[in-house]
Structure 1
Amino acid sequence: MTIPGNLLSPTTETVDPNTSGWTAKLNCTLSLGSGGRNGDGVLTVKSVAAGEMQARTVSSYPVVPGTVYHVFADASGTVAERIGIRWLTAANAEISVTWSLTTSAASASWHRVSVAGAAPVNAARCQVLLSSTPAAGAVNHFWENVYLGLPLRTTGNLLGFNTETTEVDSSGWMAETNATIARQAPPVTWSATAYSVGGHVIAVTATAPGNASAVTVERPVVTPGTEYLAYAYLSPPTAAADTWIELRFYDAGGVQVGVSRGSLAAPGTGWYRQRVSAVAPATAVTCGVAAGINGASAGQVLRLEQTSVIVAPTARAGTVIPYRSMSFEQDAGGWAVTSGAATVARSTPWGAYGVDGSYALTVTSATATASTLRSPLFPLTPGVGLNWRSEVYSQVTAGGWTAVRGIRWYDTGGVSLGLSSVASSAVPASGWWILTNDWVAPANATQAAIEWTLTATSASSVLRLDVASLWPALPLQHLDVDDAAAAITLTLRELPIGYLITVYRTGQDGSQTLVRGPSGLLDKATITSDLMAIEDYEAPLGVPVAYRIEIVPAAGGSIQIRTTETVTIDAGDPQEAWLKGPGQPQRNTKVLVEKAPDWSRPIEQATYRVKGRRNAVVLSGLRGGLEGDLSIWTRTDDERHRLHWLLDSGNTLLWQAAPGMGVSDMYVTVGEVTEGRIGGPAQEPWRTWKLPLVEADMPVSVGVGGTAGRTGQDLLVEFATGYDLLAAYATGEDLLFNRRRG
């Protein structure tokens, strides 16, 4: 699988099918090995003699001075290794090398080696260096999955790349209490596709017995009332060590005004992602992350990797339950047993139970009796109607249970308006089950709590709950027509994350056409959110269409099918036509047609005149698609500029005309364009255009424009000033598509 944004070629990255992207630099020979994870091939670097051996990329790659670049690779060997960026002048003369730390130990398991650094002021190009130092000749070291490019970081992380990954240095962190901090490079096995982890980590070392902690130097801006989620991989010194991560909030003066802690229930001394969430207080302006050990021994070390702060995710779009009460990653999330013998707590240890994250809510009853479990009160979203849907994942891990599932409603003053419930039923006895119910709220309800009456059917019964959601029950699919943009928006709700989705546009004649999504046509695309809003700019004009959605488990299984109502885009003035960029709909423009093309269909033929025969022998190829000149007018300077912008890309376009005009919707490429004046004064804005069209196939892999998941917050994290932004991007369009200079 090609790493996104990699400057290296796929062959150089994966070492498949050969080693042509690599060459020996020092004391080694290279050969193709097998057993890789990103493709089977691996780069085998064999020492000629004792001492350091180095391999490098054959090619060098352009860089922009001052810009931070990131390299990583997965390695396996009998000695420790390091990776570097070799900075070169325009003449390919070496300036310097930015080296990673040497891994703290050798490992034959695949592990990540990584470093990042800013290109020197006189650097024009760079290469990747791979290095290890065996004590003898004929020692093999293996490399694969190599990346060179801009830093790969967690999308939406409020913290900068270096604070998250420490691949440049440790300046994103500072010791807080009884500790020192440093960078280390332990050999840790990560997934081959875990691109934002690996390499260097922060080590927090207790200087004396007692509590020890470190905190981020960065203080990213937050919005009061918004819930945030902080997380990091923690590696405790012992399984019994009391380690934790905190999300802290600060006011405008830097005074801490809120804190929430998530303690790790470690099952060992490996790497475990611990999460903590909290709502930013009303006076909060910034936030930070801290981590530490309680009751540490002198010299004990807590290690951290991939520290992030993001806006807290939701399990269901529109849910009113905050992350803390939905996922139980730091505690019971405010859920409590209001009557009966049962007890409630977060599961332990890390990773034993959980659907979202690594913990679950655990309800335990020592006796076969009834208990009432109730969540905190959640404010209902105003103005969305009275229909609500609840969903809770459940798993019985000991004994058995029956449950009366319900919602208790409250008014603005917190007075109970009664309980809506369903009949008692057995909780499914094995595996995780999704228990869903629909409810009608009282007209004056403004708050609600999930309330279950649980009855243990035997002593020592244990029930796990996770991913609790409560959201307005809106239509599962809905269509909105935007006549001004000649587009249809298809909204899909309550999609199963991780499943595969295929979306067709269906015509009245039964024809089915795949609809375009962010990464190309939606043909068995992976569902990453339970809510999808698909903007279809390629729907025909003036023709009734509907949509068919097919959803299937990634591992295979029965297909879920959804269908929509039929809608029609207003075709508008029949003398006007649309020219659209399938992958960049912001370029779409409407033009006035002067004259439709007179079509030709070229064909390659060879004619042979046979002596003595009247008729020639003609050998023909396949006749080509339509070709012809479309004559149009632009009536304003804005239309003219928009048409230039559309044509600038040189990409395949979609030409759409109103029904009855004698042409069908057609994908076309546009040749050399002629723009002429129509006479009159110089200020006359009308222009006449001749667009040479060649019929083309529908683009398959082109996704709808923009950079998925990237927001203005990411720009605030990556760029200190607007001048830095101007230095990185030539145009606003380059900013939109994250196309940096160089």
Structure 2
Amino acid sequence: MAIPGNLLSPTTESIDPNTSGWTTKLNCTIGKGIGGRNGDGCLSVRSIAAGEMQARTVSSYPVVAGTVYYTFADTSGATSTGERIGIRWLNSSGGEISITWSLSTLTASASWHRVSVAGPAPVGATQAQVLLGSTEVGASVSHFWENVYLGAPIRTLGNLLPFNVESSEIDASGWTPEVNATISRQVPVVSWAATWYYAGGHTLAVTATSAGNAAAVTVDRPAVTPGVEYMAYAYLQPPTLSSVAWLELRFYDANGNQIQATRAVLAPPGTGFYRQLLSDTAPAGAATCGIAAGLDGAAAGQVLRLETVVVRAAPELVAGTVIPYANGSFEQSIGGWTVPTGVATLSRSTPWGAAGWAGSYSLRASSSTATASTLRSPKAPIPDGEGLNWRARIVTSVGAGAWSSVTVRTHWYDATGSSLGTSTGTVYGVPAGSWYLLTADGIAPDGATQAAVEVVATASSAASVLYVDAVALWQVLPLTAVEAVPADGYIQLTLRELPADYLISVYRITSDGARTLVRGADGLIDQQPIVSDAMVLEDHEAPLGVPVAYRIELYSSPGVLASTRTSDTVILTLADINTTWLKDPGNPQRNCLVVVQAAPEWERPIEQAAHVIRGRRNKVVLSGRRQGREGDLAIWTRTDAEREALHLLLDSGNVLLWQAAPGMGVDDMYVSVANISEGRIGRLAQEQWRTWTLPLTEQDMPVTTAVNGAAGRTWQDVVAEFATCQDLLDVYATSEDLLLDRRMG
């Protein structure tokens, strides 16, 4: 699979099917190896003599001076030293200006591991090449490379911290020592997944100067909003199994004074990299935040490494849940849970990864006797929730012993915190061997303003352990909702409570029973992976004036249908029958509503060959199949804005969807548009109306086209990367380019 945003061609990236994207630069020959991970091929670079050898891309790629570019590759070399990757900056004549090299890896390794570097293009640079380098002990020693990327920095969407703090690929300037530490960068041997593009080669190294506690903190302090819950995480590599490595989320007031700190301690199962998460709500008076990391009780010279450092708005475990992430995920602690009745004791599961459904930890409830215990979450507000139905959910697993029953219910409270009782709850039997999702619905009584999730667990043997994770409480909205948006010409379909790790297909069903797949961000939605429990789709290809419903099919695995849903019926209308929609299925932001001047006079061409047979009166005509309709659509645009929008729609040359009002004798039609003509309707220069002739040729519905969109990108991602509006103007030509992160050059 091609790396998103890669300037390199798929062949150069994956070395499949050949090595045509690469050439030698120093002391080497190249060939195609096998055993790669991004396709089977890899680049084999073989030394001619002992010493450094280098290979480079054949092509040079356009860059903009001052813009930061990032390159990485996966590599393997059992005996290599000086292993590194670089960006070679060239001027307009192809002359070398400089090279931005990564640090060398700390050790040699035959396993696939990552090297990377980032840096701004220097003044005068117009092109760049990727360099691959290593130092070999002798002649005919091979080093292997694949999965090579060059392009814009790959950042975690929503991260408040800039790229160089998240990754330390440029330098270590985003961090400062806080106590008993020095800061540097290192490139350890780490085998990241081939498709995990957020982790690079450089890591931040926090080295204890002397025995004792050591810590470092970010220099950057992004803005936060009081009352909003934020999540922080980083991959931590402790120096020893017994190390006390921690991550801390800090909040500061407008004067830079620290007013709150929340810490999570890593419980490492080894000395690799482990992602530690934590979250907390920004307190009153909070203006900025930061991240700190460190070691408690470190020995002199011990090193804590960090990779992929992120702080962002905390995600919801279920869309609309009122349980904060910290109280429902147990990544840093037991989340404030208590045991109001029973003998159970609570703790966070350990070590990292031993028991967890949402993240790497869960709540561990241990009962010393075969009795019942009640586990209760902290209270959470349920704004305007009285009289409404609420659903409590947990995901649970038996860790040891046995549990005869587990009851899930909701405990209600008024504004003063006084109990209003509990919902009836639902009783489940929980066998050993897997994780089970348990839910229970309840109506909030009059006066209820707060609620807590309760789990009544009955152990059937002594020394029993129950794990609880992914706790949520949310107002139950319709599983499937549909709404017509006639002003913009689409139907909005909202799907809730979708099962994780399932596949989904979405069909549009018209009154004649015809089923058509709906288009999404990855093309037609046909057994695509579910990435969120809530999904909002805009169907811009829905027909006008026709009753439409949607069928949703959920698959537990490819081809294995697990369940289906059907939406209500809705009709998309067109207010003015004299108007018509011209739509780009892959770019609905370009759709145009225009006025019809005259409908096409259709022709349906056919390929024919006429043969005269001697002695026969009639010719013999051999015909192909009659082709689709062709004709000229005459339209008007009424304003300069409509005219510019129509040009934007037509500029791409994409297949378009033409939709007219019902009863006009024209069915919805996919068309390509040939040479267009644009004219004025009068001699007055200020007249904005224009007359257009669009030569249309009927086309089949595009099958592989996907809907372009922000793909999770928000203004926070823009603010984290660009300081001023002028910086944006230097990178993006249009607002659409900004939306799609489509950069100049």
Q: Smaller-chain TM-score range?
A: over 0.9
Matched, 1:740 2:743: yes
SS of residue in 2 equivalent to 1:559? strand
1:269-305 per-position Cα deviation (integer Å, ceiling 9, x unaligned): 1111011100011111111000000111111111111
Provide the rounded CA distance (Å) in 1 between the counterparts of 2:559 and 2:581.
40
Provide the rounded CA distance (Å) in 2 between the counterparts of 1:417 and 1:679.
75
Q: Check conservation: 1:188, 1:198, Cα contact below 8 A.
A: no
Matched, 1:213 2:192: no
Provide the rounded CA distance (Å) in 2 between the counterparts of 1:522 and 1:385.
37
Deviation at 1:91? 1.7
Q: Which runs of 4+ in 1 moved over 6 A?
A: none
Name the structure 2 match of 1:571. Answer: 574
Question: Structure 2 matches for 1:454-473, cutoff 5 A?
Answer: 454-473=457-476
Structure 2 residues without counterparts, runs of 5 or longer: none
Name the structure 2 match of 1:297. Answer: 299
Q: Check conservation: 2:412, 2:420, Cα contact below 8 A.
A: yes
Deviation at 1:676? 2.1
Identify which range, 641-650 or 74-83, moves more after superposition.
Answer: 641-650
Provide the rounded CA distance (Å) in 2 between the counterparts of 1:524 and 1:426.
32
1:411 to 409, 414, 435: 414
Provide the rounded CA distance (Å) in 1 between the counterparts of 2:54 and 2:369.
67
Name the structure 1 match of 2:132. Answer: 130
Matched, 1:199 2:235: no
Q: How many residues align?
A: 742
Identify which range, 383-392 or 724-733, moves more after superposition.
Answer: 383-392
Provide the rounded CA distance (Å) in 1 between the counterparts of 2:153 and 2:386.
41
Name the structure 1 match of 2:547. Answer: 544
Name the structure 1 match of 2:76. Answer: 76
2:630 to 610, 627, 631: 627
Provide the rounded CA distance (Å) in 1 between the counterparts of 2:288 and 2:69.
28
Provide the rounded CA distance (Å) in 1 between the counterparts of 2:485 and 2:282.
37
Deviation at 1:517? 1.1
Provide the rounded CA distance (Å) in 2 between the counterparts of 1:284 and 1:638.
43
Provide the rounded CA distance (Å) in 1 between the counterparts of 2:356 and 2:466.
12
Deviation at 1:699? 2.3
Provide the rounded CA distance (Å) in 2 between the counterparts of 1:710 and 1:481.
25
Instruction: For 1:174, give the aligned amino acid.
Output: T
Provide the rounded CA distance (Å) in 1 between the counterparts of 2:272 and 2:603.
68
2:604 to 593, 601, 612: 601
1:509-546 per-position Cα deviation (integer Å, ceiling 9, x unaligned): 11111111122221222211111110111111101110
Matched, 1:48 2:51: no
Deviation at 1:448? 0.5
Q: Normalising by the residue count of structure 1, what TM-score does the alignment of the two structures yield?
A: 0.98
1:70-101 per-position Cα deviation (integer Å, ceiling 9, x unaligned): 11110011213111111111121111111111
Q: Check conservation: 1:404, 1:421, Cα contact below 8 A.
A: no
What RMSD in Å do the two structures reach over aligned CA positions? 1.6
Matched, 1:650 2:645: no
Question: Structure 2 matches for 1:607-618, cutoff 5 A?
Answer: 607-618=610-621
Matched, 1:229 2:238: no
SS of residue in 2 equivalent to 1:12? helix
Name the structure 1 match of 2:4. Answer: 4
Identify which range, 28-37 or 621-630, moves more after superposition.
Answer: 621-630
Matched, 1:518 2:533: no
1:248 to 210, 232, 250: 250
Provide the rounded CA distance (Å) in 2 between the counterparts of 1:423 and 1:592.
58
Provide the rounded CA distance (Å) in 2 between the counterparts of 1:441 and 1:416.
12
1:378 to 370, 373, 380: 380
SS of residue in 2 equivalent to 1:733? helix
Name the structure 1 match of 2:721. Answer: 718
Q: Check conservation: 1:166, 1:200, Cα contact below 8 A.
A: yes
Deviation at 1:459? 0.6
Provide the rounded CA distance (Å) in 1 between the counterparts of 2:584 and 2:458.
60
Deviation at 1:586? 2.3
Instruction: For 2:741, give the aligned amino acid.
Output: N
Instruction: For 1:506, give the aligned amino acid.
Output: I
Q: Check conservation: 1:385, 1:472, Cα contact below 8 A.
A: no
Name the structure 2 match of 1:98. Answer: 100
Deviation at 1:610? 4.4
Question: Structure 2 matches for 1:267-282, cutoff 5 A?
Answer: 267-282=269-284
Question: Structure 2 matches for 1:296-335, cutoff 5 A?
Answer: 296-335=298-337
Instruction: For 2:593, give the aligned amino acid.
Output: K
Deviation at 1:611? 4.3
Deviation at 1:484? 1.6
Name the structure 1 match of 2:111. Answer: 109
Name the structure 1 match of 2:30. Answer: 30
Provide the rounded CA distance (Å) in 2 between the counterparts of 1:423 and 1:477.
24
Cα 1:619–1:170 change in 2 (3 A) is farther
Deviation at 1:644? 2.8
Provide the rounded CA distance (Å) in 1 between the counterparts of 2:237 and 2:730.
39
Deviation at 1:28? 1.1
Deviation at 1:674? 1.6
Matched, 1:58 2:61: no
Deviation at 1:36? 0.8
Provide the rounded CA distance (Å) in 1 between the counterparts of 2:47 and 2:648.
55
Q: Check conservation: 2:326, 2:332, Cα contact below 8 A.
A: yes
Q: Normalising by the residue count of structure 2, what TM-score does the alignment of the two structures yield?
A: 0.97
Identify which range, 611-620 or 514-523, moves more after superposition.
Answer: 611-620
Cα 1:555–1:645 change in 2 (3 A) is closer
Q: Check conservation: 2:425, 2:441, Cα contact below 8 A.
A: no
Deviation at 1:609? 3.7
Instruction: For 2:11, give the aligned amino acid.
Output: T
Q: Check conservation: 1:352, 1:358, Cα contact below 8 A.
A: yes
Instruction: For 2:305, give the aligned amino acid.
Output: R
Provide the rounded CA distance (Å) in 2 between the counterparts of 1:170 and 1:613.
90
Instruction: For 1:344, give the aligned amino acid.
Output: L
Provide the rounded CA distance (Å) in 2 between the counterparts of 1:360 and 1:423.
22
Q: Check conservation: 1:22, 1:57, Cα contact below 8 A.
A: yes
SS of residue in 2 equivalent to 1:11? helix
SS of residue in 1 equivalent to 2:255? coil
SS of residue in 1 equivalent to 2:719? helix
Provide the rounded CA distance (Å) in 2 between the counterparts of 1:300 and 1:500.
46
Cα 1:731–1:424 change in 2 (3 A) is closer
Name the structure 1 match of 2:677. Answer: 674
1:529-578 per-position Cα deviation (integer Å, ceiling 9, x unaligned): 11111011111110111001111124653332111111111233322211
Identify which range, 194-203 or 625-634, moves more after superposition.
Answer: 625-634
Provide the rounded CA distance (Å) in 2 between the counterparts of 1:496 and 1:404.
22
1:181-235 per-position Cα deviation (integer Å, ceiling 9, x unaligned): 1000011000001101030001101111111000111111111111111000101
Instruction: For 2:50, give the aligned amino acid.
Output: A
Q: Percent identity?
A: 62
Identify which range, 643-652 or 352-361, moves more after superposition.
Answer: 643-652
Provide the rounded CA distance (Å) in 2 between the counterparts of 1:98 and 1:641.
42
Provide the rounded CA distance (Å) in 2 between the counterparts of 1:456 and 1:213.
43
Name the structure 2 match of 1:659. Answer: 662
Provide the rounded CA distance (Å) in 1 between the counterparts of 2:610 and 2:127.
54
Identify which range, 689-698 or 570-579, moves more after superposition.
Answer: 570-579
Instruction: For 2:549, give the aligned amino acid.
Output: A
Cα 1:381–1:701 change in 2 (3 A) is farther
Q: Check conservation: 1:386, 1:443, Cα contact below 8 A.
A: no
Provide the rounded CA distance (Å) in 2 between the counterparts of 1:409 and 1:263.
33
Deviation at 1:613? 4.3
Deviation at 1:682? 4.0
Q: Check conservation: 1:542, 1:569, Cα contact below 8 A.
A: yes
Name the structure 2 match of 1:530. Answer: 533
Structure 1 residues without counterparts, runs of 5 or longer: none
Identify which range, 666-675 or 316-325, moves more after superposition.
Answer: 666-675
Provide the rounded CA distance (Å) in 1 between the counterparts of 2:639 and 2:12.
50
Name the structure 2 match of 1:396. Answer: 398
Provide the rounded CA distance (Å) in 2 between the counterparts of 1:494 and 1:9.
39
